[in-house]
């Protein structure tokens, strides 16, 4: 059931104020993207927040104001709220917490989700939290996990999945499309709902299993949309003058489809989609089910980097011994995260082909990195644009005389020499 809330204001409208919820003593276990952003935003709303992580170096860095990840606006938000933010490796620092978020990682091993970190956090919380404290799970977990955590932690548990995008995580926390709450106890769910009331977002009160499934269903569907438009892009490349961008815009105007996640490219990566689709497939298989569309989306996505390298070879000829510049290493712009990055997979495939690779990314760095896009392009015969940073838009003149594969559609094809240029989803005349 949804809760109607007042219209949303801008993110600065009520900064530092707690609306609809008295000050709550909050713990956050796991200080990655989700945990740090959650801690920073809630501290900014006036709550006292203690963040705990087993990584001592990360905790010590945060104590002196060094943020271990790049996320736009996060440094400032942490700095502005340092009086309400405390970091520790010791779970006993959470003794006074009324609500403890679990935001630890849930990696996949052989395609199956690993819940060891979640259950370990639950065991540790069981020894320090007061009897009336509530544990809220932010980590992405398969249905049934909240019940296991409730048993281990011996406290009320709420499933409160996150729907953040790296690069806009603060905005997504302040202004989510919805707040999903899966609780066993109405009072525990009420506490979490009250905490997020400042967002003005619709609230969905579900069972814990429903809330856990929502996260996997959402990410699987978004991954499926990207894989779908990439298949349309492949067809467009076979048709003279056909541009997938124009096709995507036309179908996206259909309200039943929407334009979101219809950007063709080299495929999806990052810390969520690959891990979550694999975990969902493995979980469904345990139930005796096989989500065929999700499996097809995964298989199609795995082919994207290989297709890109083959396209470059058809354009430029054999790559062995030739220098190729890869522009972009992060899995998406506005982050330094290279986990499951398609750009990194393209780099690996180029190296296997015997190419000499140089690379540039505004934030991510590897051993092959150059200091600027100009240096990267200047040294190479061929260029692959692998991440859609705004810095790579409008550089058509810089690329003159180079073989170019625009894997993220950031260039204007009209400004490129068709003898030296290919783009994902663009048919050659």
Is 53 annotated among the ligand-binding residues?
yes
Range 320-351 burial, b when 16+ CB lie within 10 A, else e: eebebbbbbbbbbbbbbbbebbbbbbbbebbe
Question: Do the beta carbons of residue 92 and residue 29 sit within 8 Å?
Answer: no
Is 332 annotated among the ligand-binding residues?
yes
Is 345 annotated among the ligand-binding residues?
no
What confidence score (pLDDT) does residue 263 get? Answer: 96
**Residue 96 DSSP one-character state:** T
Whether 217-423 and 2-206 are alike in CATH topology: the answer is: yes
pTM beyond 0.95, yes or no: no
Per-residue pLDDT reduced to its tens digit, 149-206:
999 999 999 999 999 999 999 999 999 999 999 999 999 999 999 999 999 999 999 9
Is 114 annotated among the ligand-binding residues?
no
What confidence score (pLDDT) does residue 395 get? Answer: 98
Mean pLDDT (whole number) for 144-148: 98
Q: Which residue has the higher pLDDT, 9 or 160?
A: 160
pLDDT band (50, 70, 90) for residue 22: confident
Q: Which two structure tokens, joined as six digits, stand for 413? A: 């094809």
What confidence score (pLDDT) does residue 364 get? Answer: 95
The residues, ordered by sequence, that sit 6+ positions from 397 with a Cβ below 8 Å of its Cβ are 415
pLDDT band (50, 70, 90) for residue 21: low
Percentage of the residues of the chain whose pLDDT score is greater than 90: 93
Is 144 annotated among the ligand-binding residues?
no
Is 400 annotated among the ligand-binding residues?
no
Phi, psi for 350 (deg, rounded to 5): -65, -40
Percentage of the residues of the chain whose pLDDT score is greater than 70: 95
Q: Which residue has the higher pLDDT, 343 or 4?
A: 343
Question: Do the beta carbons of residue 101 and residue 29 sit within 8 Å?
Answer: yes
The residues, ordered by sequence, that sit 6+ positions from 82 with a Cβ below 8 Å of its Cβ are 65
Q: Which two structure tokens, joined as six digits, stand for 9? A: 């204001």
Residue 8 scores a pLDDT above 50: no
Is 164 annotated among the ligand-binding residues?
yes
**What CATH architecture applies to the domain 217-423?**
3-Layer(aba) Sandwich (3.40)
Q: Which of 21, 236, 242, 272 is catalytic?
A: 272
Nearest-angstrom CA–CA distance, 15 and 209: 33
Nearest-angstrom CA–CA distance, 268 and 298: 9
Cα 125–Cα 188–Cα 116 angle in degrees, nearest 5: 35
Q: For residue 425, which of 166, 285, 271, 242 has the smallest C-alpha distance?
A: 242
Nearest-angstrom CA–CA distance, 170 and 177: 13
SS3 406: strand
What confidence score (pLDDT) does residue 18 get? Answer: 38
Residue 298 scores a pLDDT above 90: yes
What confidence score (pLDDT) does residue 4 get? Answer: 31
Nearest-angstrom CA–CA distance, 146 and 135: 9
Is 261 annotated among the ligand-binding residues?
yes
Is 263 annotated among the ligand-binding residues?
yes
Mean pLDDT (whole number) for 218-223: 97
Nearest-angstrom CA–CA distance, 188 and 337: 34
Provide Rg for the chain, Cα atoms: 23
Backbone φ/ψ region at 106: left (φ over 0), alpha (ψ -120 to 50), beta = beta
Chain mean pLDDT for the chain: 94
Mean pLDDT (whole number) for 273-279: 95
Q: Which fold has domain 2-206?
A: Rossmann fold (3.40.50)
Residue 13 scores a pLDDT above 90: no
Per-residue pLDDT reduced to its tens digit, 363-398:
999 999 999 999 999 999 999 999 999 999 999 999
Nearest-angstrom CA–CA distance, 422 and 14: 48
Pairing of strands 382-385, 85-88: unpaired
Is 140 annotated among the ligand-binding residues?
yes
Per-residue pLDDT reduced to its tens digit, 369-378:
999 999 999 9
Nearest-angstrom CA–CA distance, 341 and 320: 23
Is 402 annotated among the ligand-binding residues?
no
Sorted by where each begins, the domain ranges of the chain are 2-206, 217-423
Residue 277 scores a pLDDT above 50: yes
Residue 15 scores a pLDDT above 80: no
Is 272 among the residues known to form the active site?
Answer: yes
Mean pLDDT (whole number) for 241-249: 97
Is 338 annotated among the ligand-binding residues?
no
Q: Which residue has the higher pLDDT, 19 or 105?
A: 105
**Residue 8 DSSP one-character state:** P
């Amino acid at each position: 059931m949804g809760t109607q809330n007042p219209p949303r204001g801008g993110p600065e409208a009520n900064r530092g104020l707690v609306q609809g919820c008295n000050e709550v003593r909050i713990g956050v276990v796991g200080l990655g993207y989700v945990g740090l952003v959650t801690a920073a935003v809630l501290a900014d709303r006036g709550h006292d927040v203690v963040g705990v992580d087993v990584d001592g170096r990360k905790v010590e860095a945060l104590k002196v104001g060094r943020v271990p990840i790049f996320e736009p606006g996060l440094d400032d938000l942490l700095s502005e709220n340092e009086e309400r933010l405390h970091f520790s490796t010791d779970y006993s620092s959470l003794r006074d917490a009324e609500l403890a978020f679990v935001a630890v990682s849930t990696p996949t091993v052989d395609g199956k989700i690993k819940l060891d970190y979640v259950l370990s956090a639950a065991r540790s919380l069981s020894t320090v939290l007061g009897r009336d404290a509530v544990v809220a799970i932010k980590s992405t977990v398969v249905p049934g996990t909240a019940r296991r955590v409730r048993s281990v932690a011996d406290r009320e548990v709420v499933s409160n999945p996150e729907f953040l995008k790296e690069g806009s995580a603060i905005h997504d926390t302040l202004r989510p499309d919805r707040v999903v709450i899966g609780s066993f106890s109405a009072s525990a769910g009420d506490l979490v709902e009250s905490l997020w009331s400042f967002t003005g977002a619709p609230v969905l009160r579900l069972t814990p299993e429903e809330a856990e499934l929502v996260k996997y269903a959402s990410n699987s569907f978004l991954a499926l949309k990207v894989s779908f438009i990439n298949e349309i892009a492949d067809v467009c490349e076979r048709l003279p003058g056909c541009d997938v961008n124009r096709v995507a815009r036309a179908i996206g105007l259909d309200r039943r489809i929407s334009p979101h996640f219809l950007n063709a490219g080299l495929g999806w990566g990052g810390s969520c989609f690959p891990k979550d689709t694999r975990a969902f497939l493995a979980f469904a298989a345990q139930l005796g089910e096989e989500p065929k569309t999700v499996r097809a989306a995964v298989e199609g996505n795995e082919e994207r980097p290989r297709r890109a390298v083959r396209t470059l070879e058809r354009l430029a000829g054999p790559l062995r011994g030739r220098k190729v510049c890869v522009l972009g290493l992060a899995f998406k712009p506005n982050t330094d995260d290279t986990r499951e990055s398609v750009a990194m997979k393209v780099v690996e495939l180029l190296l296997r082909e015997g190419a000499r690779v140089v690379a540039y990314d505004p934030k991510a760095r590897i051993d092959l990195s150059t200091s600027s896009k100009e240096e990267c392009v200047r040294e190479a015969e061929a260029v692959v644009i692998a991440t859609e940073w705004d810095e790579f838009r409008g550089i058509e003149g810089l690329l003159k005389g180079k073989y170019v594969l625009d894997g993220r559609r950031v260039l204007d094809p009209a400004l490129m020499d068709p003898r030296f240029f290919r783009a994902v989803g663009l048919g050659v005349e």
